[in-house]
C-alpha cells in the first residue's frame, strides 16, 4: 500500500459536508427508499434537442472537431458570446481580448485563484457562498477572509467591515448575484457601483460570478457588473451554460471583462488544460443563438416549481421566502431545529428517514447555519410528497408550525 500523504493544501480543506449527504443518498437508493433528490443544483431538464442534434452532427460529420480545440475559444464561439452579451446587457466586448472560454465556471474560478495567488495572499469570500471560492483559494496556497452576507441587508455584503490588514494582502473579491445559496438578487444598482469603487480603491480583482443571470422570475432581469462605469478596469464576470441551458454535464462557460486579468488566466490555463472541446463550443454557439426560446422555457419550469413548492410548504404551515432568481429555495429552519440538531443533522435525518435530500446551510459556510437549500430539480408532482415528508420530520422533532 502506498503511503504518500496528500498536499498540506488539500488536507487543510474542511471536510466536504455535501459528500456526507451524497453518501447517505447512495445508501438510501441502495435500500430502495423513494428518494426525492433536491440537494444539488444539477438541472434535471434535458438539454434542448436542437443543441443535442448540433453536437451529434458535428461529431459525426466534422472530424476536424475531434482534434485539440483552440483553448481560448474558437473565433466563432467568442464572436457569438460578444453578440449575445451586447444584445443581453448592452455591453460591447472585444472577442479577441475580453472573452475566454472555460470548462465550466467552476474550473475558471479555481484557475483564477491559481493564476493570481501566492502564499499569504488573501481572497475576500462571502459567507455563505458557493464553496469553490474558498476551496480554490486554499488550494492555490492563499487565505480566504470570509465576510458575512447578512439576511437583514438582503444578503448584500458590507465591504466597509473588512479590516485594513486583510485588504492590504487581498487580491480577489468574489461576488455572486443572483446568489447561490441565498437566492438574493441585486435590485439597487448602487451596490454594484460601490463594489467597483471598493475594488479599485483596494487594488482588487472583482470576480463576479453570474452563473444564474438568466434563471430569473416575475420580470426581474439580472444585471452584468460590466454594465457599470469602470467595471472593466477591475472586473471579470463568469457565465455558465450549465443552468441557463441545462448543460451542466457539457462543461462549458466563459469569462469576460478586464483584458489583463483574462490574458493572465489564459496563460495559466495554457499550462494545465486544452480548453473546451470544439464540438462542445459549437453546441454552445447553437445554444446562444437559440437563447430566447430555450431560456423562456427553462424560466417557466423553475418559476412553476418554485410556486408549487412554496405552496406545498404553506399547506403544512411552513413559510419560506419566494426567490426572484436561481433554481433554489433558501429556507430558514424553525429555531427549535437550529438549536437542537443544526442544519447538517437535520438534512441527514430528513434523508435517512424520508428519502428527501437537501443541502444543509452550513455546507456553504458557518453563516449558512440555521438554513437549508432546496434545489427545484425534480418533477412537479414530487413536491407535494416532499412537503409531507418535511412535515413528518418537523412533527417528530416537536416543531409547531403555524
* Residue ranges in contact with ligand PLP by CB under 6 A: 41, 104-106, 130, 176, 180, 209, 211, 240, 242, 248, 253
Name the nearest CA neighbour of 77 among 93, 89, 62: 93
Decide whether 113 or 211 has the Cβ nearer to ligand PLP. Answer: 211
Residue 371 vs 390, nearer CB to ligand PLP: 371
Residue with Cβ nearer ligand PLP (128 or 370) = 128
Q: Which of 228, 161, 217, 233 is nearest to 191 (CA)?
A: 228
**Cβ-based nearer residue to ligand PLP, 48 or 391:** 48
In the bound complex, what is the minimum distance in angstroms from residue 23's beta carbon to ligand PLP?
20
Residue in the shown chain whose Cβ atom is closest to ligand PLP: 104
From the CB of 307, what's the least distance to ligand PLP, in Å? 22
Q: How far is the CB of 129 from ligand PLP (least distance, A)?
A: 8
Residue closer to ligand PLP by CB (options 116, 208) is 208
Residue pair 58/279 in contact by the 8 Å Cβ criterion: yes
| Nearer Cβ to ligand PLP (58/182) | 182
Q: Least distance to ligand PLP from the beta carbon of 102, Å?
A: 8
Peptide bond into 49 cis (omega under 30): no
Closer residue to ligand PLP, CB minimum distance, 73 or 334: 73
Q: In which element (H, E) is residue 330 found? A: strand 328-332
CB of 47 to ligand PLP, least distance (A): 13
Smallest separation, CB 104 to ligand PLP (Å): 3
Q: What angle do CA 312, 244, 100 make, to 5 degrees?
A: 150
Cell numbers found for residue 386: 416532499
Scored b (16 or more CB within 10 A) or e, 190-228 reads: ebbebbbebbeebebbbbbbbbbbbbbbeeeebbbbbeb
Dihedral through CA 198, CA 201, CA 202, CA 208, nearest 10? 40
**Contact between 349 and 278 (Cβ < 8 Å):** no
- Could you list the beta-strand ranges (E) of 135-251: 143-148, 170-175, 205-209, 235-240
How near is the Cβ of 394 to ligand PLP at its closest, in Å?
27
E strand or H helix that includes residue 265: helix 259-272
Amino acid at each position: 500500500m502506498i503511503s504518500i500523504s496528500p498536499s498540506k493544501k488539500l488536507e487543510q480543506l474542511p471536510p466536504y459536508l455535501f459528500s456526507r449527504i451524497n453518501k447517505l443518498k447512495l445508501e438510501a437508493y441502495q435500500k430502495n427508499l423513494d428518494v426525492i433528490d433536491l440537494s444539488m443544483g444539477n438541472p434535471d431538464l434535458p438539454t434542448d434537442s436542437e443543441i443535442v442534434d448540433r453536437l451529434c452532427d458535428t461529431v459525426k460529420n466534422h472530424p476536424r472537431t475531434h482534434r485539440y480545440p483552440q483553448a481560448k475559444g474558437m473565433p466563432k464561439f467568442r464572436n457569438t458570446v460578444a453578440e449575445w452579451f451586447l444584445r443581453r446587457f448592452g455591453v460591447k466586448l472585444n472577442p479577441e481580448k475580453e472573452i475566454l472560454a472555460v470548462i465550466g465556471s467552476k474550473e475558471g474560478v479555481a484557475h483564477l485563484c491559481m493564476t493570481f495567488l501566492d502564499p499569504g495572499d488573501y481572497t475576500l469570500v462571502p459567507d455563505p457562498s458557493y464553496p469553490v471560492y474558498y476551496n480554490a483559494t486554499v488550494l492555490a496556497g492563499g487565505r480566504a477572509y470570509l465576510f458575512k452576507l447578512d439576511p437583514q441587508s438582503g444578503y448584500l455584503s458590507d465591504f466597509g467591515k473588512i479590516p485594513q490588514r486583510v485588504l492590504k494582502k487581498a487580491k480577489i473579491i468574489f461576488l455572486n448575484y443572483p446568489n447561490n445559496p441565498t437566492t438574493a438578487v441585486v435590485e439597487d444598482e448602487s451596490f454594484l457601483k460601490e463594489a467597483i469603487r471598493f475594488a479599485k480603491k483596494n487594488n482588487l480583482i472583482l470576480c463576479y460570478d453570474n452563473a444564474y443571470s438568466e434563471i430569473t422570475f416575475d420580470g426581474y432581469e439580472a444585471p452584468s457588473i460590466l454594465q457599470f462605469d469602470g467595471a472593466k478596469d477591475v472586473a471579470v464576470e463568469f457565465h455558465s451554460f450549465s443552468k441557463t441551458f441545462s448543460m451542466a454535464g457539457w462543461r462549458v462557460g466563459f469569462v469576460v471583462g478586464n483584458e489583463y486579468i483574462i490574458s493572465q488566466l489564459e496563460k495559466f490555463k495554457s499550462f494545465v488544460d486544452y480548453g473546451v472541446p470544439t464540438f462542445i463550443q459549437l453546441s454552445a454557439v447553437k445554444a446562444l443563438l437559440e437563447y430566447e426560446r430555450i431560456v423562456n422555457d427553462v424560466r417557466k419550469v423553475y418559476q412553476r416549481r418554485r410556486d408549487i413548492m412554496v405552496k406545498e410548504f404553506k399547506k403544512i404551515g411552513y413559510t419560506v421566502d419566494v426567490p426572484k432568481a436561481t433554481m433554489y429555495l433558501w429556507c430558514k429552519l424553525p429555531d427549535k431545529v437550529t438549536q437542537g440538531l443544526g442544519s447538517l443533522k437535520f438534512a441527514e435525518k430528513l434523508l435517512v428517514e424520508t428519502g428527501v435530500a437537501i443541502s444543509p446551510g452550513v455546507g456553504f459556510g458557518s453563516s449558512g447555519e440555521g438554513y437549508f437549500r432546496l434545489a427545484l430539480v425534480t418533477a412537479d408532482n414530487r413536491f407535494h410528497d416532499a412537503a409531507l415528508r418535511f412535515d413528518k420530520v418537523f412533527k417528530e422533532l416537536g416543531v409547531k408550525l403555524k
